[in-house]
Every structure is written in structure tokens, then in C-alpha cells.
Amino acid sequence: MNFPDLFDRFADRVLPANLTDAAILQLRHEAYAEDLPAGGRLHLDDDRSHFIFVGSGATKLAAFVSTEREQIVAFDFAGDIVHVPPRGRYNFALTALTPAEVLVMPADSFLRTTPESCALLKVATEETARALSASRENAITLGRRSARERLACFLLDVWARMADQRKTGEEAIVLPMSRGEIAESLGLTIETVSRQFSELRELGLIETCGRSLLRVVDPEGLSRCAGQVAAAA
């Protein structure tokens, strides 16, 4: 997918209709596309925040807590928008889990206070608010839930967000992230994640095949697993 197609897809998906052509052209001028191979890291100007539109593939946004230790803050799939903050207390990096096409836009491009780009600003606010909600939910999960509940939550979330990938008769999805990456996003170790996978399988709530094929057999049961707060946690 080339830049024009990628930008058009982005515009279709998030830009409102009432935007002037001038504003769109200005944004288009400052955006650029990038192809990332699996495992490839997006290099950005650390001093500015960016919005990244994921055209295809899957990505992770991770914070470097210490050397060789990172905390994954968000997973994003095709059609999602990621807010990448500037360098602060932690450094953040967007990494592709699978080959991915992304559209990079400095946040400044949305923040002009010219009358024409007001609608753009609104988009930026809404996307940031959405990211804030997701982050707060994540914080709640990390603070108050057991390992079992965290994984159940995670699987339900991914299962729902990748729904379009199983529309063609397929009942399974391909998890683009490794067990280690799941662990890093849930604040657990890889061993604990693996054990929870096994137990959910034994409970008959999910089925797995190979490393990455997942099928949620009993969404309601999984939801029950995820729902209740840890009695002991």
C-alpha cells in the first residue's frame, strides 16, 4: 500500500466530513508512510508527540523502564490510532509485531489553531481521550486483578478487536504477539502467562493450536473469569 492509499484509508476512517480541503492537504503534507518489518522499530523525533495510524499489521507501544526491561502500554491493530508521547520520564517506542504499514503524523499537525483546522483538533482530542480511557482501564487491570483475570481480560479484548479477522468462516485468530509480550503488557512473567493459558484450556474456555492460533470457545465463561475482582490478589 502506497502513501496515497494509506492516507485515504486514514481519512475515511477518522477524519470528519466537515473538514476543509485545505486542512486535509496540510495534514497530508506533514504525514508520511512507513513500512515496518516484523520486529521493526519506528524511529521518531523524541521531542514531539505523534499520532500513528496503523494501516495494516499489528504493533506494540512499549516504555523502557530499565535496560532490557520494558512495559508494553498498548497493542494496536489495523485501523487503530496510537498516541506516542514525547520523551519524558520513560522513553516510548512503537514496534511492529507483524509487517506493518503505518502513517506517521506529528501531533503538532493537529494542533494548529487556524479556523480551518479546528475539526482536526477535535479529532486529536477525541483520540487522546480514547487512549486515556484505554490506559486507565489498563491501570485498573494491573492494580486490581489476578493473573487469571488479567489474561482472560486480555484475550477477550484481543478476540473482540480482531473480530474482523475471523469473519471469513474462520473461528480462530492468529495472536500476533508472543507469550513474552503478553506478559510484558500484563505485568506478569512468561511462565505465569503460560500456566494461565494451560488452565484456561483445561477449563474448556479457549482452544489453542500451535503457538499463536486461538479460539475462544466460551466467551461468557471467559468473561466470568475476567469479571470478578481478585478475591486474593
Binding residues for DNA, rule: CB under 7 A, are: 146-148, 178-180, 187-195, 197-198, 208, 210-212, 230-233
**74 vs 214, beta carbon nearer its own copies:** 74
User: Taking the complex as a whole, how short is the minimal distance between the CB of residue 54 and DNA, in angstroms?
Assistant: 21
Residue 15 burial (CB count, 10 A) = 16
Residue with cell 500451535: 210
Q: Distance between CA 205 and CA 95 in Å, rounded? A: 30
| Closest among 49, 103, 167, 82 to 72, alpha carbons compared | 82
Q: Binding partner of residue 133 among DNA, its own copies, none, CB under 5 to 8 Å per kind?
A: its own copies
Residues lying near its own copies in the complex (CB under 8 A) are found at 18, 49, 63, 65-66, 69, 71, 73, 83, 85, 88-90, 107, 110-111, 113-115, 117-119, 121-122, 124-125, 128-129, 131-133, 135-140, 142-144, 185-187, 228-229
| CB atoms near residue 197 (< 10 Å) | 17
Closer residue to its own copies in complex, CB, 15/172: 15
Selection from its own copies, DNA, none that 83 binds (CB < 5 to 8 A by kind) is: its own copies
If the CB atoms of residues 4 and 37 are measured against DNA, the closer one turns out to be: 37
**Beta carbon nearer to its own copies, 29 or 89:** 89
22 binds, options its own copies, DNA, none, Cβ within 5 to 8 A by partner type: none
Cβ-based nearer residue to DNA, 26 or 194: 194
Nearest to 127 by CA among 151, 153, 109: 109
Give the residue carrying C-alpha cell 519524558: 88
Contact assessment for residue 128 and residue 83, using Cβ atoms and an 8 Å cutoff: yes
Label residue 232 exposed, middle or buried (CB < 10 Å: 0-12, 13-18, 19+): exposed
